[in-house]
Every structure is written in C-alpha cells, then in structure tokens.
Amino acid sequence: MSTAIATTAGDLRRLAGRALRHEARTPDALMVNIALPVIIMLLFVYVFGGAITTGSSGLAYVDFVVPAVLLMAGGYGAALTAVSISREMTGGMIDRFRTLPISGWVVPAGFVVASVVRSVVATAIALAVAIALGFRPSASLAEGALVLALVFGYVLAVSAVAALWGLFVRSTQAAEAFSFMVIFFPYVSDGVVPAETMPGPLRGFAEHQPTTPIVEALRALLLDQPMGNAGWLSAIWLTAAVLISVPIAAVLFRRRTAR
C-alpha cells in the first residue's frame, strides 16, 4: 500500500511540475497572472478609492477593498485551471497520458496542485502591492496563519470547481468564461462596496453569496476585527465546493477518457 501511495504521489508531483513548467514557458500568460492583481489594486485604490465610502465599517477604502482584491488575484489564476484542462482534453494529450501506468484522477489533480501554487504566489504579490499602497495589516502570527489557510482553501475550492468546468465544457472558449465568473462574484459582494449600499434584491444576493463571508473573514483576520459568523460560513462554502466538485470531476474525467 505504501508503495502505491508513493508512486501516486510521485505521479502527482511530476504532473503538477509539468503544468508549472508549461506556465513558465508562456510568458504572456505568466505576466497576465502577475500584472492583473496589480492593475486591479491600483485601479480600486487610486481611481475609485476617493469616491467610495465604506459605510458603517468606517475603514479606509484601501483597508476595505484589499481582501476582495486578494480573492480576485487568487481566483483568477485558479480559474485558469479550466482552460488548461480543456486544452489538454481537446488537444490529444490525454490520449498519451492514457497509455501511461498512472491513475486517471491524477491528471486533473496535477493541474489543481499547480493552480494552487501559482495562485497563492499571485495573491502574495497582490498583498505586497497593497502594503506598498498603504495597507497596514494588524494580524497576529496566528491570524496570519489563518489568512494563509483561508486563501489556500479559496484557491483550492476555485481550482476544483474550475477542473469540473473544464471537464464539462467541450471547448477552450467555453472554459475561458469561468475566469470571468470568478472575478465577477467579488464585485457583487461586500468586498468592493458595502452590501448595505446596494438596492434590495442585489443586496440580498450580495449578503448571501459565498464570496461575502470569505471577504469578511479575511478582512477581520487581516485587520484584527471581530469575525462573527464569517469564519464558519467560509469553511462550509469552501469545503462543500471541494467535496462536491472533486467526485463529479473524477466521474466526468473517466467518462470523457473512456474508449
């Protein structure tokens, strides 16, 4: 049993490394992953920041918006997993993998692992830019660890759902739509503007969609504020996303690669 686990772990490591090397060999995509969070951060802080109030939170806008931008940075990179998997499924590479003595589920899992690594780095870059723009987190060491865990969980959840989407759609063009959906959700949450300022139906959606508690939990951890229900709501949403997406993606992968 231990030999089988070691073999599978080695296959997963090699496939994740392959995905990361492929990313490094496409500098245009790599630059987009790095530049996008920086551009978004500059846009919100310098262009919109002077005109937007943060409602009852009383926070400076840079402090209010940074958690949402961190999710955008990590979520965009994670969402690209859908494109990578779709490209492999339609480009013939999966046929080559099928001739190798590896477990089928390891192939999409390798893309998910690579996505988590890439997206966590993009989020760290976004946080560094935020600090340069005046964001001053006051998180303790324990809170900082929870921030890292929350970002990791968010990226893992988005990557898992992206893998499912990439296996579900039949073209890379359709797979690309997932990244726009992921970036859209933080806009209609309590992350960019206070949900309390939105009209009735939109406010109800913003307050109850999954991004809002994650943003609020990040904001509370980074700024050492009370978290309320945001922590356990975030855990429920992220855990559910992974537990639902992974088995369905495994079934779709087996069906699409069966001869």
Give mean pLDDT in consecutive 10-residue pieces for the chain, a chain of 259 residues. 68 77 66 74 79 78 88 82 78 65 71 83 85 87 91 90 86 82 86 87 90 94 90 94 87 73
Assess contact for 171 and 79: CB atoms under 8 A. Answer: no
Task: Write down the residue that tokens 């499912």 correspond to.
Answer: 164
- Taking each continuous run of H as one helix and of E as one strand, the counts in the chain are 11, 0
Quick one: pLDDT at residue 1? 46
Helix (H) or strand (E) holding 143: helix 141-168
Sign of the dihedral defined by the CA atoms of residues 188, 234, 248, 9, in that order: positive
Round to whole Å and give the CA distance between 93 and 95.
Answer: 5
Quick one: pLDDT at residue 99? 64
Quick one: pLDDT at residue 247? 85
Quick one: pLDDT at residue 259? 56
Quick one: pLDDT at residue 95? 63
Quick one: pLDDT at residue 258? 65
Give the closest residue to 5 by CA, choosing from 89, 103, 142, 83: 103
What is the pTM assigned to this prediction? 0.86
